[in-house]
Amino acid sequence: MAAFAAGVLDVPFAPSKYSLNKILPARDNNGAVRLFDTGNLPFTPELVDFHKAKIEERAKSEGRNPSFQMVIDDIYAISKGRLVGRPK
């Protein structure tokens, strides 16, 4: 429970009252899960930059800026049997 309270263990969209729900996943251009927001996870700046770069690469290929909309699009994509929620 201490790890959840400190935010070093987090689960996106978790129904648990212990999870801070601060991390947000988004897919990269190849469908791999990246972190749009790393919350309080103890990642190095290099790892955070890696995730950001992969999401920016996808955003550029889709002609948009990285945004929370990518997270939403990916959630809807999964319900439609797709990995990545690309704009129409």
Assigned domain for 88 exists = no
Look at residue 86 and tell me if it is in a domain.
no
Residue 6 forms part of a structural domain: yes
**The pLDDT value given to residue 81:** 94
Decide: 19 and 3 in contact? Cβ < 8 Å: no
Largest CA distance in the chain: 43
Structural domain contains residue 85: no
Q: How many domains does the chain have?
A: 1
**Residue-wise pLDDT tens digits, 30-55:** 999 999 999 999 999 999 999 999 99
Q: Token pair for residue 48?
A: 């955070």
CATH classification at residue 6: 3.90.970.10
Confidence category of residue 66, pLDDT binned at 50, 70, 90: very high
Provide the whole-model pTM.
0.89
Q: How confident is the model at residue 88 (pLDDT cuts 50, 70, 90)?
A: confident
**In the numeric block, which tokens belong to residue 10?**
């987090």
Q: Are 84 and 77 in contact (CB under 8 A)?
A: yes
Instruction: Give the residue numbers spanning the domain of 73.
Output: 2-14+24-79
